[in-house]
C-alpha cells in the first residue's frame, strides 16, 4: 500500500499558517521553526526514566521580511519592552493557526508567556543576486496548548 492510500485527503501544507500575537499589529512571518514542546524527565535509581510531570518552557524562531517596516517597528517596540525596565505587557499570548488546502481542516495552538529574546539581522553579501532580507527573531514561551 502506497503513501497516497494511507494519507487522508486535504492535508495541512507547511505554507498555510498565521501567527497572531495579542496586542501587536498583524505581522507577516515568512518562516516559523518547528516548536518542540517537551516534558520534564526524572531519572530513577534503577536507571530508567519517568515523566517529570511538568512541561518545559520552549523556544522557537521566526523570520520577518525587513522591508515590512511598520511590522518590524512593532517587533522592535515589543523587543525594547522586554529590556530593563521590563514592561508589564512584555509577555503575550500567541496563536498559531495552520489550515488545510481547502480550509476545511484547521489545527490551532495557543502559546502563553511569549516574548522575543533575540534579534538577528540578515547576513549581507554583495555577491547575492537579491534574496529578500529577513530579520530572525527568537521567542521564548512558557506554555503551548492545543485548541
Q: Where are the domains of the chain?
A: 3-32+58-146
How far apart are alpha carbons 85 and 124 in whole angstroms? 32
| Residue ranges for the chain with pLDDT beneath 70 | 1-5
137 with 65: CB under 8 angstroms?
A: no
Radius of gyration (Cα) for the chain, nearest Å? 19
Q: Which of 93, 82, 74 is nearest to 28 (CA)?
A: 74
Task: Map grid coordinates 492535508 to a residue.
Answer: 11
How far apart are alpha carbons 88 and 78 in whole angstroms? 11
pLDDT at residue number 68: 97
Strand-pair category, 134-141 with 143-146: unpaired
pLDDT at residue number 73: 96
pLDDT at residue number 52: 82
pTM beyond 0.85: the answer is yes
pLDDT at residue number 3: 61
Amino acid at each position: 500500500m502506497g503513501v497516497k492510500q494511507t494519507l487522508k485527503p486535504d492535508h495541512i501544507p507547511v505554507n498555510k499558517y498565521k501567527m497572531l500575537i495579542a496586542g501587536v499589529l498583524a505581522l507577516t512571518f515568512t518562516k516559523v521553526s518547528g516548536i518542540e514542546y517537551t516534558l520534564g524527565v526524572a531519572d530513577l535509581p534503577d536507571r530508567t526514566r519517568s515523566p517529570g510531570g511538568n512541561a518545559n518552557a520552549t523556544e522557537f524562531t521566526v523570520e520577518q521580511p525587513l522591508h515590512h517596516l511598520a511590522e518590524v517597528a512593532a517587533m522592535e517596540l515589543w523587543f525594547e519592552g522586554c529590556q530593563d525596565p521590563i514592561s508589564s505587557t512584555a509577555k503575550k499570548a500567541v496563536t498559531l493557526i495552520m489550515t488545510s488546502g481547502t480550509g476545511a481542516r484547521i489545527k490551532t495552538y495557543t502559546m502563553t508567556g511569549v516574548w522575543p529574546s533575540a534579534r538577528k539581522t540578515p547576513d549581507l553579501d554583495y555577491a547575492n543576486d537579491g534574496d529578500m532580507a529577513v530579520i530572525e527573531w527568537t521567542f521564548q514561551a512558557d506554555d503551548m496548548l492545543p485548541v
